């Protein structure tokens, strides 16, 4: 049984963003919270 991860490339425009705002945006992507199907109450 193979477990294959879905790979996706996400580009984030860092122009005119502070380091903190950029780090927050990257963290949300890594947690999967940028997904339209994400619902906080369903964990």
Q: What is the pLDDT of residues 1-34, one digit of tens each?
A: 677 877 889 999 999 999 999 999 999 998 888 8
pTM: 0.67
Residue 3: the pLDDT is 78
More confident residue, 25 or 38: 25
Residue 1: the pLDDT is 66
* C-alpha distances in Å from residue 1, one per residue of 4, 6, 7, 28, 43: 10, 16, 19, 30, 25
Nearest alpha carbon to residue 32 among 43, 22, 17, 21 = 43
Residue 27: the pLDDT is 94
User: What are the structural domain ranges in the chain?
Assistant: 18-43
Confidence of residue 43 (pLDDT cuts 50, 70, 90): low
The answer to whether the beta carbons of residues 34 and 28 sit under 8 Å apart is yes
For residue 12, what are the contacts with CB-CB under 8 A and spacing of at least 6?
22, 25, 26, 29
């Amino acid at each position: 049984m193979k477990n294959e991860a879905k790979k996706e490339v996400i580009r984030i425009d860092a122009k005119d963003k502070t380091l903190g705002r950029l780090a927050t945006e990257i963290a949300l992507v890594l947690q999967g919270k940028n997904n339209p199907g994400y619902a906080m109450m369903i964990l």
